[in-house]
Amino acid sequence: MAPLSKRLGAEFLGTFWLVFAGCGSAVLAATASTSTGFPVGIGYLGVALSFGLSVVTMAYAVGGISGGHFNPAVTLGVAVAGRFQWKDVLPYWCTQIVAGLVGGGVLYAIASGTDTFDVAANGFAANGYGAHSPSGYGLGAAFLCEVVMTFIFLIVIIGSTDSRANAGFAPLAIGLTLTMIHLVSIPVTNTSVNPARSIAVAFEAGNGAVGQLWLFIVAPLLGAAIAGAAYAFLVGRDPEQSPAKPVAEKQEIDNV
């Protein structure tokens, strides 16, 4: 197993890329048009693919070092599932949040490089409910959506990195699942399932995003914890993995 400092460096790179590429696609490319007004935006499908591909690429690049969480909810879920040492949860969380904030800051610096950028109108890819939901979904729907989506995400992560699963395909399964999650839930909450991703852009977005941030911290963590506890009950504990024998050591990826 790599030293903690190396693992935190890998988590920083992966989380930075997830926020910068995923949120960047929403901020810079989702509704883009040429100088003549011709629409060339990638839309919801493009944004969903960007988030999924950001996970796949960094999972293959650095997932073998850190486990490839890139998400505080993933770190909690795999710890609850007995796949990760609890003493490393807080360092991972702090690194992921700082990396997300750096990614959001770099994205803001680039996005504000044009006179046409309006953060209030754009929303800066922030998550929200009610008036801040892309399609006006309320608090209850948003909370349930984030819990369920994160639950499914963690079930796929834990299952695809199980020693009984087909080795080598975990990053693809996880990335495709994140893409599917975005396709379903972008209209509801702009899709979080990742507290670090939500924190990363809330402060630049303003316009009430910080006041709603609690939901995108609590709901993903709750969904991940339920998944971590439920997986062993549903399919049985992985006989070859434990906190003393983490996923990264086996070159399997818990990602995000």
Q: What is the model's pTM?
A: 0.92
Residue 248 lies in a domain: no
Residues in the chain: 256
Q: Alpha carbon of 100 to those of 8, 95, 201, 231: distances in Å?
A: 13, 8, 8, 28
How far is residue 98's CA from residue 15's CA, in Å, rounded to a whole number? 9
Greater model confidence, 122 or 46? 46
Residue 252 lies in a domain: no
Query: Please, which pLDDT band fits residue 237 given cuts at 50, 70 and 90?
Result: confident
The CATH number for 79's domain is 1.20.1080.10
- Which structural domain, as residue segments, surrounds residue 93? 4-239
pLDDT digits (tens, 9 = 90+) for 152-200: 999 999 999 998 888 789 999 999 999 999 999 999 999 999 999 999 9
What lies within 8 Å, CB to CB, of 112 at 6+ separation is: 119
Residue 26 lies in a domain: yes
Please determine, for residue 249, whether its predicted confidence score (pLDDT) is greater than 80.
no
Domain count, the chain: 1
Residue 193 lies in a domain: yes
Residue 251 lies in a domain: no
Residue 223 lies in a domain: yes
What lies within 8 Å, CB to CB, of 105 at 6+ separation is: 204
Weakest-pLDDT range from 115-124, 134-143, 215-224: 115-124
CB 224 within 8 A of CB 151: yes
Q: Alpha carbon of 231 to those of 75, 131, 151, 154, 178: distances in Å?
A: 15, 35, 10, 9, 18
Please determine, for residue 95, whether its predicted confidence score (pLDDT) is greater than 60.
yes
Residue 74 lies in a domain: yes
